[in-house]
Amino acid sequence: MAPQGSIRLISMCAGQGRDVIEVLERHDRALDVRALLVELDVQLAEDARQRARRAALGNVHVRVADAFITSAYRDAVPADILLACGVFGNISDSDIHATIASLPSLLARNATVIWTRHRRDPDLTPTVREWFGEFGFEEVAFDTEEGVLFSVGTHRLIRDPQTFDPNQKLFTFFGDGAGAHQ
Ligand SMILES: C[S@@+](CC[C@H](N)C(=O)[O-])C[C@H]1O[C@@H](n2cnc3c(N)ncnc32)[C@H](O)[C@@H]1O
């Protein structure tokens, strides 16, 4: 459970933001959460904005921006929770590694990262989990089901955060995102 007070949340490549908004709209701490959803697609971002408005979540902000550069998150760091959902299936392995390496500069002490990735052959998730360890995270959970290719990882930062650099490049997104959840 997060300590009392405000909780900063970042969602990279947020889409319609349903994984944030649909949780917050029935969560006791919803009004403590200041969320920044970064999404490149104007229409999806507008959908997210309307959902947040309908749910009376005035602290959910949606930014139309390219999530690849850390400046996109400038006013939302250091985050207590960061979502990288539907991202790691759409960027290169080396960009996944580079993104995980950069996360401590976007995060507060003890922050939690929730990420997703398919497990299609060759399953990269064991390596991704090792990379989180390499960059100062401990694994809280790794959830998947037999016969399902989708997986969700949860990692907590256990080393000191790093200084925020607004000019750091994280990844190049390829594809239309469709493969990320299979
Ligand atoms: C697979 S979807 C994931 C959406 C959401 N995070 C989820 O898990 O349901 C990938 C999203 O990334 C967005 N996207 C693609 N390239 C992006 C970029 N460079 N910056 C920000 N968003 C991007 C797409 O428009 C799409 O909404």
The per-residue pLDDT for range 151-165, each reduced to its tens digit, is 999 999 999 999 999
Q: How far is the CA of 177 from the centre of ligand 1 (A)?
A: 6
Strand-pair partners of 157: 137
Residue 181 DSSP class = G
**C-beta separation of 156 from 98 below 8 A:** no
Expressed in angstroms and rounded, the spacing between residue 23 Cα and the centre of ligand 1 is 18
pLDDT digits 0-9 by tens, 31-86: 999 999 999 999 999 999 999 999 999 999 999 999 999 999 999 999 999 999 99
Is the distance from the beta carbon of residue 115 to the nearest atom of ligand 1 less than 6 Å? no
Local confidence band at 179 (pLDDT 50, 70, 90 cut-offs): very low
CA of 146 to the centre of ligand 1 (A): 26
Q: What is the DSSP letter of 32?
A: G
| Domains by residue range for the chain, with CATH | 7-173 (3.40.50.150)
150 lines ligand 1 (CB under 6 A): no
Question: What is the pTM for the complete model shown?
Answer: 0.95
Q: Answer whether 66 contacts ligand 1 (Cβ < 6 A).
A: yes
24 lines ligand 1 (CB under 6 A): no
Residue with tokens 């239309």: 176
Distance 161 CA to ligand 1 centre (A): 25
pLDDT band at 176 (very low <50, low <70, confident <90, very high): low
Q: What confidence category does residue 139 fall into, taking pLDDT thresholds of 50, 70 and 90?
A: very high
Token pair belonging to 8: 């900063």
pLDDT recorded at residue 24: 98
Going by the DSSP 8-state scheme, the letter that residue 135 receives in this structure is T
What pLDDT is stored for residue 77 in this prediction? 98
Q: What is the pLDDT of residue 1?
A: 78
38 Cα distance to chain centroid: 10
72-127 per-position pLDDT tens digit? 999 999 999 999 999 999 999 999 999 999 999 999 999 999 999 999 999 999 99
Establish whether residue 17 lines the binding site of ligand 1, counting it when its CB lies within 6 angstroms of any ligand atom: no
For ligand 1, say whether the CB of 64 is within 6 Å of any of its atoms.
Answer: no
Q: Dihedral sign, CA of 178, 117, 90, 72?
A: positive
- Runs of H (alpha helix) within 6-162: 18-24, 42-54, 93-102, 125-134
